[in-house]
Structure 1
Amino acid sequence: MPAAGKLVVSITPTIGNLSGIKMGTRTVSNEYIVSTVPFFLNPTQTVRIVPQNIAFRTQILGLSYGVTRDFNVVLNAGMAEKSLDTIVFKGASGILPLARNYPTTASLSDFALSGVYRVYQDDINRVQISLGFSFPTGSNTATFNDFILPNRTVQNIRGFYGMQLGTGTFDIMPGVVYAGYLGPWSWGASYRGRFPLGPNPQGYLWGDLHELSGWGGYTWIPGLTTTFRASASLQGPIRGWDPEIRGAAVPSNPLFYGGQRVELFGGATVSGRFVGYENWSLGVEAGLPVYQNLNGPQIMKNWQASMQLKVKI
């Protein structure tokens, strides 16, 4: 936490990839999906559009200001971009591919403002609690242009839920962190939740999100620390639906979102003291899921990597 009257500025780019389809914990083929999974708006027809790959990129600016010794405020804002590769199957049935689409969406991400309070600290341990709010500054009405449909027509359609860059809702985000260190060793655990306060103007809200993390670190020399982190998340399906997201596609079904995921990450933090910039630091982290139980069929996550450049002012 920054000292009273001090500011910490961070820039955090993140990239990641999703590909492959799971129903629960089972990986299924495109042909199985278009032969057996009904289109939720017309159960007599199977889905005809299946995502193959999603690449996502975010760039987040963070500002953390120390109001008092034990309380600081944190602001996060930035940009997000997603690129989709999806396969379209011909007609209302069958397993004959027709075409592929490659739409991209980009906009501001949702703006978040949080307060963090240190409730306890001694020579080894500390406990912090936080309460934040997310504001719907990101777009949730992005459009796919010139999208090929199963009947061979080409239309502009509203992007699927997972390709939108914002939620469209006001969300509350509580959290708690325990951390400690002794000599070169450090460790900690955290919980973060995200709960929409009501549906967006399009008529839906994302499922409640719970995230648990635990980590350990080792400082090899002053200014160089490596870390290992495990993260588990649980999210419910989307509640409600956007009537403009209506194509016979897997990701147009609001029930095919959310689930359970466990991920493992490795990282390192390097102080700028090595190059004469004491107040600067650079962190990197990358990881991948080791367990996914998804509401689906749903495209699954493959990996994620991020970097953070931080300066104390």
Structure 2
Amino acid sequence: MLTVMGLLFSTTALAQEAGGSGGVPDVSPTPTKQKAPPAPLGVFGSDIAAVGKFSVGFSGVFTGLANSRIGTKIVSPEYIVSTTPWFFDPRKPVRLVPSSVFATIQSISFSYGVAENFGIVLAAGAVEKRVAALTYAAPSGTRFLGQSYATVAGVTDLEAAAVLRIYRDEVHRVLISLGLTFPTGSNESQFRLLLSDGAYGTVRAFYSMQPGTGTYDFLPGFTYGGVIGPYSWGIAYRGRWPLASNPEGYRYGDLHDLHGWIGYSWIPELTTTLRVTGTTRGPIRGFDPKIDGKSQSANPFFYGGQRVELYGGATIAGSLLGLDRATFAIEAGMPIYQNLNGPQLFRNWQAIVAVRISL
């Protein structure tokens, strides 16, 4: 399968957390006696496109975050404005608390089979993030002033990767991938929110609201998949490691995603999967002096943490619907454990839908 992930969290920085770009499994037959079934939609680099063939994938990633945690503990907005200092002056408390974020990422990916065991993938996309923020009046205290809403939209960072299959037999396959992101998405976007003095102000959006990171990131990956009859399974790792700080003076912490899954093919054209994913990410290193709002989300230390999620999905070959060149996939899930550097909004759910067309 050639599935391109990002997103995602600016996870959370929301652009990374919510995901990045997505693709669809390649379910075309392999030269072995047994056809390799598709891996879950959220796994990158589980197979390679046929030699000399192009395919294009379209996907949508939808993510909802709400409420805040410090570690594993849920905390109220009133607790946050009473106990959390402003990053630029720890003598003063924060006055704005985000209550929810909804993010959508629409992506397009291109894959090409260069050789039997070597393929390349290019992915790009557009993201929209909507935040609801609670504002508290005066320099301190818990008097609620009002709620405001803001939206930030733009293109995501561009992603390119190569996938190399290093072993395959009738049961097992092993692949590695190497990729790089390019800072095509903006990290200087602005939004307008209600301030503690009752006025509305236009300021540089929080780190998690930016469409891009401003950095070049290295994307290493490894995938193992197995199949016996209708049963399939696998494990995979993918990282996102910023190579240097961006011109604004910061970079996200290293991201590590580890996946494990099982699958069952009810018929050759229909496979369902169950995936568990563990994610860990460090806090932002450095800071942008223009992201100076009195909010938890303007503090670079309140990003990253650990998360375990459970996803269910299905992949349908288009031949079942009379569309021989198409493949459809869907996957949705939610966290079962989160330990966040906070206070920080936590993820409630995520869903991915995609279609792949062989050219």
**TM-score bin (small chain):** over 0.9
SS of 1:102 mapped into structure 2: strand
Identity of aligned residues (%): 47
Task: Give how far 1:213 is off.
Answer: 0.3
2:85 match: 38
Within 2, Cα distance between the matches of 1:279 and 1:14?
Answer: 23
Confirm or deny that 1:24 pairs with 2:71: yes
Question: Cα deviation per residue 1:24-58 (whole Å; 9 max; x = unaligned)?
Answer: 00001111111111112111111111000000000
> How far apart are the structure 2 equivalents of 1:151 and 1:165?
28
SS of residue in 1 equivalent to 2:65: strand
Output the TM-score relative to the length of structure 2.
0.86
1:261 corresponds in structure 2 to: 307
Query: Counterpart of 1:47?
Result: 94
Do structure 1's residue 194 and structure 2's residue 194 form an aligned pair? no
- Rounded Cα–Cα distance in structure 2 between residues aligned with 1:204 and 1:29: 29
Q: Distance in 2 between matches of 1:302 and 1:157?
A: 27
Tell whether 2:316 aligns with 1:273: no
The equivalences for 1:170-249 within 5 A come to 170-249=216-295
- Distance in 2 separating the partners of 1:172 and 1:307: 26
Task: Report SS of the residue matched to 1:207.
Answer: coil
Correspondence for 2:120 among 73, 77, 100: 73
Q: Deviations over 1:212-245 (max 9, x none)?
A: 0011100111201110000000000000000100
SS in structure 2 of the partner of residue 31 of structure 1: helix
Distance 2:226 2:266 in 1: 17
- The number of residues matched between the two structures is 312
Alignment-mate amino acid for residue 289 of structure 2: P
Q: Secondary structure at the match of 2:301?
A: coil
The alpha-carbon deviation at position 275 of structure 1 amounts to 2.0
Residues of 1 paired with 2:353 and 2:309: CA distance? 17
AA at the equivalent of 2:279: S
Give me the whole-angstrom Cα distance separating, in 1, the residues matched to 2:358 and 2:130: 34
Distance in 1 of aligned mates of 2:70 and 2:244: 28
Distance 2:321 2:179 in 1: 35
Residue number in structure 2 paired with 1:151: 197
Aligned residue type for 2:97: V
More strand by share: 1
Aligned to 1:93: 140
Shift of 1:77: 0.4
Residue in 1 that maps onto 2:10:
none
- C-alpha separation in 2, matches of 1:173 and 1:51: 30
Q: Which residue of 2 aligns with 1:57?
A: 104
Q: What's the C-alpha RMSD, in Å, of the aligned pairs?
A: 0.7
Runs (4+) off by over 6 Å: none
Residue matched to 1:289 = 335
Post-superposition shift, 1:271?
A: 1.0
Answer with 17-26 or 150-159: which moved more: 150-159
Which secondary structure does the structure 1 equivalent of 2:81 belong to? helix
Give the Cα–Cα distance (whole angstroms) in 1 for the partners of residues 267 and 116 of structure 2: 28
Q: Which residue of 2 aligns with 1:117?
A: 164
Matched residue, 2:56: 9
Give 2:178's aligned amino acid. Answer: L
Secondary structure of 1:5's partner? Answer: coil
| Corresponding residue SS for 1:217 | strand
- 2:291 alignment partner, SS class: coil
Write out aligned runs for 1:161-176 (5 A): 161-176=207-222
Partner residue of 2:44?
Answer: none
Q: Counterparts of 1:177 and 1:247 in 2: how far apart (Å)?
A: 41
Give 1:153 deviation, angstroms.
Answer: 2.5
Give unmatched runs, 5+ long, in structure 1. Answer: none
Distance 1:223 1:180 in 2: 18
Q: Report the 3-state secondary structure (helix = DSSP H, G, I; strand = E; otherwise coil) of the residue aligned with 1:33.
A: helix
Distance 1:17 1:274 in 2: 32
**2:80 is paired with a residue of what secondary structure?**
helix
Which 10-residue stretch deviates more, 36-45 or 104-113?
Answer: 36-45
Q: Which moved more, 1:49-58 or 1:90-99?
A: 90-99
From 346, 349, 354, the equivalent of 1:300 is 346
1:154 Cα deviation from its structure 2 partner: 2.0
Structure 1 residue matching 2:300: 3-state secondary structure: coil
Structure 1 counterpart of 2:266, one-letter code:
W
